[in-house]
C-alpha cells in the first residue's frame, strides 16, 4: 500500500489516476472537493478579543445561511469569558437586526458531569435561548474555557428549525461537563439567517469560531 505524505503546504490539490482534482486541502486544514464531491467548506473564521458577542449573518463577510448548503456547523475553540457566566446561542430571522429573546425558545438541555468522586446527569427545560452551557464557565484561561459545536440543517426556508449544540468544559464547581442542547424557536414560519453566540453577561475575552457549510 502506498502512502501520501505532505508537509509544508499552503494549498494543495490532490489528484488520483487522472488530471481531475479529487479534493483540496487549504492552509487551515479545510478539505473541500469539486461538484458533488464537495464536503466541508470554511465560510468564515472569527478570532474573538473582548467582544460582546459573535455573529454569523447571511450576506455579511462571506457568510451564507440559506439553501446553498444542506447543513451548517459552527465550531467553538477555547472560548474564554471575561466573567464566569453561561454561554448561549440565539437565532434571528431578520438578518441580525434583532434576535429572538427570552421565553420564545423551546430547548432541551442534557448535562453529564463528574469530579471523579461524584457523577451525575440531568435533563432540563430552557426557553431563553437555542442553547446554554447551563453550568458556569470559568474566566481563568488556565481552566481551558469551553469548546463546542452548533449544527443546523435546511436553512433558507420558513419552517420549524432545530439546532443541535454540544459543549464540553471544566466548570466553576470543578466538574468535567458535557452538555447537549436540542433547541428551536416556537414557530413554524421563520427562516433563520443569523446566529449569535454570547455570554449571559459580560464579554467573550477570547476564542476561535468557525462557520462551515456542508453539502
The closest of 175, 181, 173 to 152, measured between CA atoms, is 181
For the domain that residue 194 is a member of, what is the CATH number? Answer: 2.60.120
Does the pLDDT value for residue 3 go beyond 60?
Answer: no
Q: Which three cell numbers stand for residue 214?
A: 456542508
Residues 32 and 103 in one domain: no
Residues 27 and 45 in one domain: no
pLDDT reported for residue 6: 58
At residue 13 the predicted structure's pLDDT band, cuts being 50, 70 and 90, is low
CA distances from 100 to 20, 27, 90, 185, 187 (A): 46, 36, 7, 8, 11
Residues 121 and 29 in one domain: no
Unique residue bearing C-alpha cell 477555547: 78
pTM for the full predicted model: 0.84
d(CA 186, CA 18): 51
In degrees rounded to 5, what are phi and psi of residue 37?
Answer: -90, -5
Residues 67 and 144 in one domain: yes
Residues 18 and 53 in one domain: no
At residue 7 the predicted structure's pLDDT band, cuts being 50, 70 and 90, is low
Domain extent for 196: 41-214
Residues 69 and 157 in one domain: yes
Residues 109 and 151 in one domain: yes
Of 3-17, 36-50, 69-83, 114-128, the one with minimum mean pLDDT is 3-17
CA distances from 215 to 33, 42, 73, 80, 204 (A): 10, 12, 11, 31, 30
Residues 30 and 45 in one domain: no
Number of domains in the chain: 2
**Contact by Cβ (8 Å): 204, 82:** yes
pLDDT reported for residue 39: 85
pLDDT reported for residue 203: 98
Unique residue bearing C-alpha cell 459545536: 149
Amino acid at each position: 500500500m502506498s502512502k501520501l505524505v505532505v508537509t509544508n503546504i499552503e494549498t494543495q490539490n490532490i489528484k488520483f489516476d487522472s488530471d481531475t482534482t479529487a479534493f483540496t486541502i487549504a492552509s487551515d486544514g479545510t478539505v473541500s472537493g469539486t461538484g458533488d464531491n464537495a464536503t466541508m467548506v470554511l465560510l468564515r473564521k472569527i478570532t474573538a478579543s473582548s467582544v460582546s458577542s459573535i455573529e454569523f449573518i447571511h450576506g455579511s463577510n462571506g457568510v451564507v445561511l440559506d439553501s446553498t448548503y444542506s447543513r451548517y456547523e459552527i465550531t467553538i475553540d477555547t472560548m474564554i469569558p471575561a466573567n464566569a457566566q453561561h454561554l448561549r446561542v440565539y437565532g434571528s430571522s431578520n438578518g441580525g437586526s434583532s434576535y429572538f429573546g427570552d421565553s420564545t425558545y423551546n430547548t432541551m438541555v442534557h448535562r453529564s458531569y463528574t469530579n471523579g468522586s461524584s457523577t451525575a446527569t440531568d435533563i432540563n427545560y430552557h426557553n431563553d435561548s437555542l442553547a446554554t452551557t447551563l453550568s458556569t464557565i470559568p474566566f481563568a484561561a488556565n481552566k481551558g474555557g469551553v469548546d463546542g459545536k452548533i449544527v443546523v440543517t435546511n436553512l433558507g426556508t420558513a419552517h420549524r428549525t432545530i439546532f443541535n449544540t454540544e459543549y464540553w468544559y471544566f466548570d466553576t464547581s470543578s466538574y468535567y461537563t458535557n452538555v447537549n442542547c436540542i433547541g428551536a424557536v416556537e414557530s413554524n414560519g421563520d427562516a433563520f439567517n443569523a446566529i449569535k453566540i454570547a455570554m449571559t453577561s459580560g464579554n467573550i475575552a477570547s476564542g476561535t469560531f468557525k462557520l462551515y457549510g456542508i453539502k
